[in-house]
Structure formats: C-alpha cells, structure tokens
A = this chain, B = another copy of it.
Amino acid sequence: MLKRTLHELPEHLYPADEWRLVERGYSPRYCSRAETFFALANGYVGVRGTYDEGRPSTAPGTYVNGFHETWPIVHAEEAYGFARFGQTIVKVPDATILRLLVDDEPLSVPEARLHGYARVLDMRAGTLTREMSWSTPGGKHVELRSRRVVSLEHRHVLAVEYEVTMRGHAAPVVLRSQVLNLEDLSVEEASERPPDPRAGRDLADRVLNPVVVAHEGGRILLGYRTTNSGMTLGVGVDHVISTANPHTTDVAADGDRGEVVLTVDAQPGVPIRVTKFVTYQTSRGAPPEELTERCSRTLDRSVRDGFGALLDGQRAHLDRFWDRADVRVSQGAGTARLQQAVRWNLFQLAQATWRAEGAGVPAKGLTGNGYEGHYFWDIEVYLLPFLAYTQPRIARNLLRFRHSMLPAARERARELGQRGALFAWRTIDGREASAYYAAGTAQYHLNADIAFAIRRYVHARGDTGFLLEAGAEVLVETARMWADLGFHGDDGAFHIHGVTGPDEYTTVVNDNTYTNLMARLNLRYAAETMRALERERPAEHAALAAELGLHPGELDEWERAADAMHVPFDEERGIHPQDAHFLEREVWDLDATPPERFPLLLHHHPLEIYRRQVIKQADIVLAMYLVGDEFTAAHKRADFEYYDRLTTGDSSLSACVQSIIAAEVGDERRALDYFRFALMIDLGDVAGNVSDGVHIAAAGGVWQALVCGFGGVRDHDGELTFDPRLPRAWSSLAYSLRYRARQLRVALGHDEERYLLEDGGPVEVTIRDERRRLVPGQPLVVRPPGR
C-alpha cells in the first residue's frame, strides 16, 4: 500500500533528458536536494553537489569511504553486550571551493542576476558542469563555466576547471581557491534539526588534528590524524592557471584552511581559467607525512596529464559501465523522463561502487553523511545482484571486504553467546555500531544475507576460487552461528527465536519466516560447499577444515537444522505469517492514519508500532523474491495480497521489492506504481531526507525492479531463468547481464523478445519454464505469450 507522497521533478527546473540531469535555475526550495542530485563520487571519494563558490550550501561535504572517527557509545541505560564503539564517517576538508569576486563583489548564486543558468550532471561524461552569465551589481557582464570531475580512473583524484571571462568591460577579478576544514560548521547546523535516527551524527569534539601544513607554488598539502580512531588523512591541491591577463597569485595555509588567491586584471574577452586538482589519501595509521607525499606524487601526475586526460578516462570508464549496466526503457512521450530517472539511479551505483576497493558501500554512498557512512545489508541484498551481473569484479571486492570483518564478527558472536560469527548490523570497522539492538544487532539475518550474496556471486560468475580464498570461511562461521542460535523444539522442528527480520516494525520475534528461510539456505550452502571442496579440492579443504576446527559432525548438524527448519504457515488463511505470531497482532489501520504521521517511526513509540500488524518494509515479500523457489505461485499471490495492504513503505528498501513481486504475481498496476515510487525515492524526495544523501540500496533496487521485476530474471538454483512481464504501458525494455564470463543482451517487446549471447561458449537458460540454449552471436527470438 503506498502511503507516501511522490513528487515528480519539476519540468521547468529539471527538464527531461535521457543522459543528463539539468538544473535550469537556482531555487532555494531545491537547493539542499540538488546538493545530493549533483553529487559526484567514485566509490572512494565523494563530493556533494555544492556550488563552486561554496555558497549557498545546506550541507557541504567531501567524504572518503571508510575514513571515520570512533567514539564511545553512551547508553541512557546500559546493558551487557550493547554496542560500545560508535563510528562516524568524517567530512574531509572541502577542496572544491573557488570564491569569485569581480569589482570586489562576491558572486553569490541566490542573490546574483544570472542569465542562461545551467547545471548539468552528464551521466555519460561523468561530469558536473555549470554555465551562466552574471550581471554584477556594478553592471558588468561575466561569463562563467565550470566543470567538476571525480575520477573513476584515478580513485584519489578529483578536479575542477573554472573559467571566467569578462564581456564588454575590464574588471579586477579575484579568485580565492580554498581547501577548508568544515568540521566546525556542522555541529551548529545539525542542532537545528529534530532528532532523526536516520540522519548522520555530528561529532562534538574536534576530529581532524593537523599534523602537516605545507605549500609551495600553487600547491597546498595538509595532513591530519583523527582524535580517537587514529586514522590519518592527506589532502593535496594544486592549481594550473591559464590566462593571458596580467595576474598575481598568493598562497597561505594553516591547519584548518589553505588558500590560493589569484588576482587578475581581466580584460574583456580574455578568459581566466583555473584548473584545480585535488587528491585525498587515507590510512588506518600511516604517518600523515607519508600520505601528503603520496598526494604530492599524485598531483605531479595529474598536473602533467591535465584535465583533458581526466575527462577522457572518465568517459572510457563510464562507457564500460554503461555497456553492462544500462537499462533502456521506452514509454512513448514519457520515455526521456523515465530514462533519465533510471540512468540517474544507475549512475549512483557506479558512483558508489566503482572504486570501493578494500571498503564497503555506505548506505548513502559518498553523497552525504546519512546513516553515518555505515555499511549495512544493503550491500549484499540490494547492490550485489546488480554487481554480480554487471561488474562481478566489484562484487568480489565487496565480499572480500566483508570477509575481512570476520575476526570482529567472531568476537561479536562470543559477546552474544553464540558460536561462529555474527556480522555487525551497522559498522565501518567491523564492530557493531548499532545502538538500538531491537532494530540492529537482532537482525541476525545479515549473516544469511551475506551467505546468500556469496552464493549468488559464485554462481553468477562461476568463481569457485573465491570460496577457497574467503567464501567458505564465512559460510562455515555463519552456518555455525545459525546452528547454535536455533534449537530443535518439542515439535521436532528447528526454531530461531528472538530475532528481527528485515521489517523493523516488529522486532525480536520468533521464527521470522524470512530469517528462517535464509538461514536454511545459509546452512545448506555451507554444508554443500564444504562437501564439494572436500571432493574437488581435498588438500585445500583439509587445510581449511583444520584451520576452522571443523569437526566431522558439523555438516550433518547444519543439514539436520536446515531440513527441520520451521517455516511458519497459516493453513486457515493460506499465507505465511511474517513470524510465528505475527497474525495474532492487531491490524494497524493504515487507511485511518493521516499522511503526516508517516513515517510511523517518527510519530509513534516503538511499542505502539511493534504490537500491531504494520510493516515498514518488505519482509515475507523479500523472501518471495530472494528464495522464491520456497513458495508456490498461489502462496505468492496470497502472501502478496495480505502483506501489501500492511506495508507502509516507510523504508526506502521496500518499494522495489514490492514492485518485483507485484510483477511476478501479475499485478501490473501495483508493479508500476511501486516501481515509480522506487525510481523517484530520491529524485522525488519521498522520504524528505534526500539532502542526507542518495539511498544507494534503493538505486540498486531500481535495477532489480527493472531486470528481475519486469525483466523477470531469477537465479534460484544458480542458473538464469527469465519470465518477463513487460508492462503494457511500455513499448520495450532492454538490459544486459554478465554471466559466467559471457555477455547477455535481452531486449523485450510486446511482439518479440530477443536473447543474445554475445560471446563465450553456449549456455542454457530457462525462459518461461522452457529450457533454451543460447549460442554466441545467434539471437534467440521468443514470441511472448498473449495476454
């Protein structure tokens, strides 16, 4: 049930354009959203879409993935095992700022008389450009162009090209190019907002302590160490100034600010161009001096290669991205708008993941500090499918990163009284940072989500080598946790009690159906994997088993638990209860709840919510998608009907999944409604908090809704099946899948569907329950059944 308001992008402000998001004028109302819309990132570093001049800005910020401060969590009432170490992503000094003064008049976008304003996020070029003319208060005309890029090729590099040309008159022009530690600004600003558990946290004490302050020519180098986490940071900026006008430069720096001041005697028609190269280096503890040295070397190379090379590399990387990731839809007159929104979501996936080597993907990518830069299950359930089928290299990196958290997860399992490993619900450094266990630590399902993602990745890529390298260890430790957590009840069934499923509007329940089904998969896949390794790689298996202290009976124990796993089912209603006792609860009257009371979590005490049948986000419905082979078609229809009317969609993770299952059960109207909702979660600011950053998981959900929902792709047994549901309102849908080192192209129309294997050996897939063989270069054309 859709209870939230969807706002479309205003056409006069953001005209439809398939490859670009274009802002046609400054609007105070859209200013804070635009900082997120126009954010640039590469998975390592991200910059919010602020104005070059630094103002106006509602929440400026540059973030480096994983660069965080820690702090002791103080609980209002302590208890054993509560999370102790908070972790918060830190704003690194902002190096994008170039303040412009003409005739000593500063350019300030909100007040300035501007003509021909256009800010453009070009999703093929990977740039943010701005063009406009400014009539100064003194009546002079200034032409301005800027271009910003966060390099997908060079993960430590971003750059801004800023060009000013006087028209008609000469004038003194001053450009103040800054690098600015913003941390003092944020506390004040944040305190004006009401408390919102979804927002980021502002750290009370100083985080960045300057260790290195240096400058030479147009280059500034700053090095920092954080107060608590001991992480280190190097920032470097360099400037290439290109103008035929007479000019001077001046440079200064201290621990909080570096500045290059360019003073120009600007002649009409003679452009002033400043190219600013910026680089960040972070480390868990290397000396800041070492990091600023690395910055220096990066700057040497960047200046040498120039801005043009950056742009070329950017385009090349995005060509590779779009080749595999693009999804094309057509919908008559609405195509450009629809395609724009689809591409904006997919582009966010590139920005969040492309260079996330050695790190995870924060819930907001690197576009804001919402959720404090933490890693959640979003990675495994909402991003992994996209990555496994478009960029398996990145999928592997992320799973390897998860594996690196195993020591912390083992320690956490001990604290919770369990064997094996229990991954932290939200974390940067691997330790649990969720201060509210009922909707945090209790989400044990994360363990199974990770196992699920490993299985999907291994199957999609055929990368069994990953199992030996890292996957099997995670599978064994997570399976151990489940086997220990649950118990065989008097009824002989295996029960898992006291856990929270994906839906956070009921917490700490018994036998959450999603959790039990996913745990079963985890247990079985772990056993199956270890048995296969024993057969196929006996030496490595023996070494691994010894290292893990795997005793002979464990695999049997897991399989017994999996086979006996209790899956709640209500015979009378013919549906799966969300948990053992969900259906006994009173039903929340969503029809009687006024729109301003959503999201419920901001207007009702948890106790009021938890005791009722009301759903924050897809839970059973998610299980129907991820482990759909556990449900009959009839049950899917019944379950979807039942749960849909209870679902608020208060979580951004919900609509995409609802859409997928609505499509599967043949409810095209709801599938499209939910899809539009998912698609516009950020661009339509559905949750009212897009200024905190992009909902990256929802963007991953958009790809899944397109490819798995309307596109009908599943892979329950590790093999591809297709059961497309092209909406009547759409004329076509085309997507690509990377599958076991082959490239598949699928183009769906109402009259025919084309399945093309571009390369590699032949492969078998299932199309609408029919086994089909795809041969490279020979498109398989299928006539969809009549409706």
Contact = CB atoms under 8 A, between A and B. Distances in A.
Interface of A: 73-83, 86, 195-197, 415-417, 434-438, 440-442, 487, 489, 495, 497-498, 508, 510, 580-581, 584-586, 601-608, 610-612
Q: Which of A197, A435, A497 has the most CB of B within 10 A?
A: A497
Contact of A436 (B79, B586, B605): B79
A541 B417 CA distance: 57
Contacts of A584: 489, 495, 497, 510, 580
A672 to B, nearest CB: 33
B195 A78 contact: yes
A329 B446 CA distance: 59
B508 A77 contact: no
A81 B606 CA distance: 8
B76 A603 contact: no
Contacts of A487: 586
Given A437-B606, A441-B607, A487-B586, A74 B74 contact: yes
Given A75-B76, A80-B601, A498 B610 contact: yes
A605 to B, nearest CB: 3
Nearest to A583: B490
A411 to B, nearest CB: 13
Nearest to A438: B438
B416 A77 contact: no
A419 to B, nearest CB: 13
Given A80-B604, A82-B605, 11 more contacts: A74-B74, A77-B434, A79-B606, A416-B605, A487-B586, A495-B586, A497-B585, A498-B607, A508-B508, A508-B610, A510-B581
Nearest to A73: B76
Contacts of A611: 497-498, 510
29 contacts: A73-B76, A75-B75, A75-B76, A76-B86, A76-B435, A77-B197, A77-B434, A77-B440, A78-B197, A79-B436, A79-B601, A81-B604, A81-B606, A81-B607, A82-B605, A417-B608, A441-B605, A441-B607, A487-B586, A489-B584, A498-B607, A498-B610, A498-B611, A508-B607, A508-B610, A510-B581, A510-B585, A510-B611, A580-B584
Contacts of A434: 77
A303 B764 CA distance: 103
Nearest to A600: B80
Number of copies of this protein chain within its complex: 2
- The list of the 10 closest CB pairs from A to B, nearest first, reads A498-B611, A76-B435, A81-B605, A77-B436, A497-B611, A77-B435, A78-B195, A417-B608, A487-B586, A73-B76
A80 B497 contact: no
Given A586-B487, A607-B508, A602 B197 contact: no
Contacts of A489: 584, 586
A74 B76 contact: yes
Given A495-B584, A581-B580, A79 B197 contact: yes
Nearest to A586: B487
Contacts of A83: 76
A343 B612 CA distance: 49
A82 to B, nearest CB: 8
A607 B437 contact: yes
A436 B601 contact: no
A277 B487 CA distance: 65
Nearest to A415: B605
A90 to B, nearest CB: 19
A409 to B, nearest CB: 15
Contacts of A608: 81, 416-417
B76 A605 contact: no
Contacts of A417: 604-605, 608
Contacts of A581: 510, 580-581
A27 to B, nearest CB: 31
Contacts of A508: 508, 607, 610
B76 A436 contact: yes
